[in-house]
Amino acid sequence: MTNEHAIGMRADERGHLTSDISRNYLSPAVLERLRRRIALADPHRKTAPVLAPFTGGVIGTIPVGVPADVDEAIRRARQAQPGWAARRPSSRGAVLVRFHDLLLDRREEALDLIQLESGKARRHALEEILDTALVARHYGFRAAKYLRVRRRAGALPGLTMTREYRQPVGVVGIISPWNFPLILGITDALAALAAGNAVVLRPDEQGSLTALWAVDLLYEAGLPSDVLQVVTGPGPELGPPLIEGADFIMFTGSTRTGRIVARQAAERLRGYSLELGGKNPMLVLEDADLEAAVDGAVRGAFVGAGQVCVSIERLYVHDALFDRFAKRLVERVREMKLSPAFDYDADMGSLTVPRQLDTVESHVRDAVEKGAHLLVGGRRRPDIGPLFYEPTVFTGVTPEMKMFAEETFGPVVALYRVASDEEAIARANDTRYGLNASVWSRSVRHAVRVAKQIQTGTVNVNESYGATWTATSAPIGGMKESGSGRRHGAEGILKYTESQTIAIQRGLPLAPPPFIPVRVYASLMPRLLRLMRHIPGLR
C-alpha cells in the first residue's frame, strides 16, 4: 500500500491547522456565521474543539449545548413551522432546488470541509455531495406529488366524498452521526422540510461544522428564519430533551443507542425512524464476472475507510472462483493508496474518531489471536496520520471471533468460501442485522432470484451499495436489528406527515333514513353490499 502526505496542510506548534483551506473556509468570521445558526438559550456556552482526523489538529470550535438549548431550539422551530407549512409544496420545493444548485456550485468548499472533518478520501467525500444533491432535487421537484390530496372511495359512491390529506407532524428532531456529516446531517432534514415541518438537528460533534455549513447554505437558498435549528454538543445530554420535545425523531447510529431512542420515543407515543448497524454481505456467485466482483468488493468494503452503514464486511465467494478471487483481491488491496491529500488520487482516507480505531484494532487482534488468517493489511499507519489503518482482508473468521458477527465499521472484510447459492444465502442471512447486501452474477435473472431471498432492506446486483442508495425514488432502510422506517421515495417523506381523512356526506345519511323502518334498512343493506362486490369499480 502506498501513501502520500497531506497537500497544502500543516500544523503549527499548537496543533492548529494552518492550511489555505482553514483560512479560506474556516476563518473566525466563517465560524462565527456558522455559530449564529446554533440555537442557544444562553450564548455564553463553553466550547469544544473539532479535530482533524488527518492530523489531530484543531479545525474549529463548537458550543457545548445543554438541554435548555434544545428547548429553545424547539420553541423557535415550533413558532416558525406554521408559516412554512402554509406554503405550497412547490414553493417549499423551490428552496430545495436552489440549495441543490448552490451545493453543486460550492462543492469544492464542501469537499474540503468534509475531508477536514471526517478524514475520508476526496472521492468518497464527492459521494456525499452528489447524493445530497440528488435528494434535494428529488424532493424539490417531487414533494408536491407525494403530498397531494388523494381521493378515496366512500362506502356509498356518490353519497360520500372522501379525501386523504397529508399534514406535517410539526417539529422533527434529527440526531445524526459523524461518518456522513453532509448526507446524514442534511438529507433527512430535506425530506422533513419538504413535508412542511420545522427541524431541530443535533449533529455529532465531529460532523457539526459540515452540517452547519450546509444549514447556512439552505438559508442562503431561501429557507425562512428559524425553520431549521441546530444544537451542537454531546448526544447523551442533548438527545433525551430532543426526543422529549420533538413530534418525530429520525436517528442514525448504533443499534444499541437506537433501542434507547425507540424506548424514549415510544414512551411519549411519538413516531420515529431508525437506521442502525449492519454486517453487510456480498455474494459472488459461480457465474460472476471475477474482475468486476473484485472491483466491487474493494469499493464496497473500503469506501469511507469502511465507516459506512451499507459497506461490505462479509464476502461469500463460490468455491469455483474463490482462489482466483482471493488472490486478485489481495493484489488490488496492496495497490491501494492511503493519503490525507485533498485530491482524487487517494483510494482511502483515515478513520474519523479514535474510538473507531480502537474497535478496528480490537477486532483484528481478536481474530488473529483466535486463528484467523490475515491475507493483507492489519496495521495502523501513524506514518501517514494518527487514525490511518490499512485495508484488511481475512479468511478463517469463525463464530467465536468478534469480527464474525459484530459490526467492525472499519476497513476490514472477512472472506468465506461457499459451495452453492443456498449456502451463500443461508450464511448471508445468519445475522441479527439486515441493512444492505450485494449479489454478483453475469445473469441478472439468477442474481435477482438470489437477492429476493436475502433478508436485507436493500440488495444491489452487480454493485456494492450505490445502486440502491442513489435510487432516490425507492425506499432504503433496514430489516431485523438494522432499523425501522425508510429513507427516500414516498416513504422517506410521508413518514414526516400524519394522514388525515376528511369525508363529506351528501344526501342520505349513513344510517337508516327516517322514512325507512330500521328492520327494512337492516334487510336492504346486506343485499346492497352483496351486489356491490360484483361491480369492479365499487369493490
Tens digits of residue pLDDT in 189-233: 999 999 999 999 999 999 999 999 999 999 999 999 999 999 999
pLDDT exceeds 70 at position 9: no
From the list 117, 244, 275, 463, the catalytic residue is 275
The predicted pLDDT at position 242 comes to 98
- Predicted pLDDT at 59: 87
Q: Among the options 128, 244, 309, 390, which is catalytic?
A: 309
Give the mean model confidence (pLDDT) for residues 49-61. 91
* CA distance readout (Å), 521 to 154, 377, 516, 518, 531: 19, 80, 6, 5, 15
Classify residue 438 by its DSSP letter.
E
**Cα 162 from Cα 150, distance rounded (Å):** 9
With 90 as the cut, is the pLDDT of residue 508 above it? no
Percent of the chain topping pLDDT 90: 83
What is the arithmetic mean of pLDDT over 483-512? 94
275 is catalytic: yes
CA distance 127 to 310: 13
Say what the pTM is: 0.93
Q: Is a pLDDT exceeding 70 seen at residue 4? A: no
Note the pLDDT tens digit of each residue in 380-400: 999 999 999 999 999 999 999
pLDDT digits (tens, 9 = 90+) for 76-114: 999 999 999 999 999 999 999 999 999 999 999 999 999
Choice among 21-30, 131-140, 367-376 with the minimum mean pLDDT: 21-30
Whether 309 is a known active-site residue: answer yes
Q: Which of 156, 186, 177, 175 is nearest to 245 (CA)?
A: 175
pLDDT digits (tens, 9 = 90+) for 447-457: 999 999 999 99
In this predicted structure, the answer to whether residue 2 has a pLDDT above a threshold of 80 is: no
Which residue segments constitute the domains of the chain, with CATH numbers given? 66-276 (3.40.605.10), 280-476 (3.40.309.10), 511-538 (no CATH)
pLDDT bin (cut points 50, 70, 90) of residue 17 is very low
What was the pLDDT predicted at 126? 98
Single-letter amino acid code for the residue at 282:
M
